[in-house]
Chains A and B, each alone.
Chain A
């Protein structure tokens, strides 16, 4: 009995000491529901096929950065970690990630969609730091019947996307349709100060010719409060002012419920899976409008990277390659938006022009959120401004305040000096 106790104690000490067994990697990730199950079976398949053990470190989404910072402080960072794409620059600048070129099979890197390459690359050194087999986008969903009844042209692809005038005209006409309470749902129900604001609306600023931050000088003043950006914010605010937008306390199902309906939803690719079972062939996917400088769409999701402190980078690279090539994972996560060209074939809804092909086409015109090390401050400041603007505050003032906060943080960090300087 005593011996067994000592043995158990010894094993526990060994396990806690963190010495990596040969061919073992730790993987830090966040996921919920079906995705979480899909990752777990992926880990099992990987171990079975390669003999490399995976120690999963599941971290709830909301405490991801807290736990990561604790891991850095105690020098127990995982070999492979998932991170939200817009925070990549912050992680690279902080020196946590290894570049992937040379570690990962070039064929896999060539298979990434332009959007995936864009979101995984740190522009200062032009190297790729993270990849994933999935991506995301935001598009317009509508009801065929309602659009026809209101006499509105249904765009079929990015080339014939609605213009600003057409979009406003469509909303005005739809507002008058019987049964439509609000013509447009922009999913304010996701929360007031959440990443959704930056994610879903930053491309509109770009389509107006504005930017959240100057990509060369890394100054928000002159970009976020430029006339183009103010015009974009004013446009979005005008939809709310005209009472066209589903309010925040009205749920996320306005497009496909019976009462207090919306006619068009400005929603993520995942909305298809929620709306299609209810609306069937009445549901139509359309590109985001072109506000002047072409259709620009959001992108980015949680992508995978190898940490600089990994003691087993070769095994970690093998895991990333395995994940990129794995077909089962895509099959098990229904509604996955392909982040690799070859993955599109596995997700038939994204190749069928009657279904979601337009969504996948948008990955050619995707603009990532600013790839800037100060992104945490940038997005938080933008969210506050966006909330205030939607609630009726003056766009120029609010964007100016946000720009000042972003630039103050930049100055506090000596302008986020690039490597080697």
Chain B
């Protein structure tokens, strides 16, 4: 009787899982498996008179031997190293400012979240006018703040400033997401801890370092991993604003793969690139999970 009941539940569960599984299979697992296969062929984007053939590791050899790829690889790591602290720090700051506020909270929460739901294309158009040379708003601002000492910069078209400019824009656009998660994390911290800290006479700063920050450990791990994965896949901003230039200063792995597949029209080659990106993301995920495997404060906090 009991076993029958259990199997019936599994049946219902299976029935409910099926639609999602079919979609995942059709649009995630199958294409992924196909791209592994294609990575070892010379498959073009447009089928032509030369039949697709197996080329062994040629695509991988060429990718790993190309300066453009390694440039894109380093750019992505550099971008992640810049954008994660900036974006998450900004998100945490706004979350703390909004935490506990009752009336203004909803309004500012919506305002801060606005860039995140604005399409990236729109954000890029707006920022490209901010970045205008020589008299765009950003240049004018820096120039005014420095009493005219600041030399206008071609933000997006100077190899030295292009990636930082993309970083600023990206952090501004997406920090609303991390902010919302931090707000949830902050609300989970028990008020008792703050009361105890207040009784002990802790200052605002030590309340943050001794109570808030340690309590946010789980949230931080989640945000770090999500942001890192997003950062490694940087593409849209770059494709719209700089196409990877100047001199490859903003080229990224996804942009490299995109150009290989849809501009140069070599799908096999692009698949090999995707596979390398996949391995990189898995590697970074594994590394971050390993480094953050233990809450340093422990359970007794």
Contact = CB atoms under 8 A, between A and B. Distances in A.
Contact of A376 (B50, B244, B246, B265): B265
Nearest to B156: A249
Main secondary structure of the interface of B (DSSP, over half): loop
Interface stretch (B3-11, B39-47, B92-100, B220-228): B39-47
B45 A65 contact: yes
Contacts of B135: 259-260
Contacts of B133: 247, 249-250
B263 interface: yes
Contacts of B131: 249
Interface in B86-141: 128, 131-136
Contacts of B47: 69, 72-73, 94
Main secondary structure of the interface of A (DSSP, over half): helix
Contacts, number: 85
Contacts of A251: 132
Given A69-B45, A247-B157, 19 more contacts: A65-B262, A66-B262, A69-B46, A69-B47, A72-B46, A93-B49, A94-B47, A94-B48, A192-B243, A192-B246, A249-B128, A249-B157, A250-B133, A251-B132, A376-B265, A387-B245, A388-B248, A393-B247, A414-B50
Contacts of B156: 248-249
Contact of A194 (B68, B243, B264): B243
A192 B132 contact: no
Which bracket fits the contact residues of B? 20 to 34
Nearest to A91: B46
A236 interface: no
A189 to B, nearest CB: 9
B154 interface: yes
Nearest to A94: B48
B155 interface: yes
B259 interface: yes
A140 to B, nearest CB: 23
A377 interface: yes
Interface string A220-261: 000000000000000000000000000111110000000110
A325 to B, nearest CB: 31
B292 interface: no
Given A65-B46, A259-B135, A248 B154 contact: yes
Contacts of A66: 45, 262
Contact of A388 (B247, B259, B264): B247
Contacts of A387: 245-247
Interface of B: 42, 45-50, 68, 128, 131-136, 154-157, 159, 242-248, 259, 262-265
Nearest to B243: A193
Interface string A36-76: 00000000000000000000000000000110110011000
A68 B48 CA distance: 13
A125 interface: no
A194 to B, nearest CB: 7
Contacts of A351: none
A328 interface: no
A101 B155 CA distance: 52
Contacts of A414: 50
A250 B243 contact: no
Contacts of B259: 193, 380
Nearest to A381: B264
A193 B45 contact: no
Given A65-B265, A192-B246, A391-B245, A93 B42 contact: no
A194 B156 CA distance: 16
B55 to A, nearest CB: 9
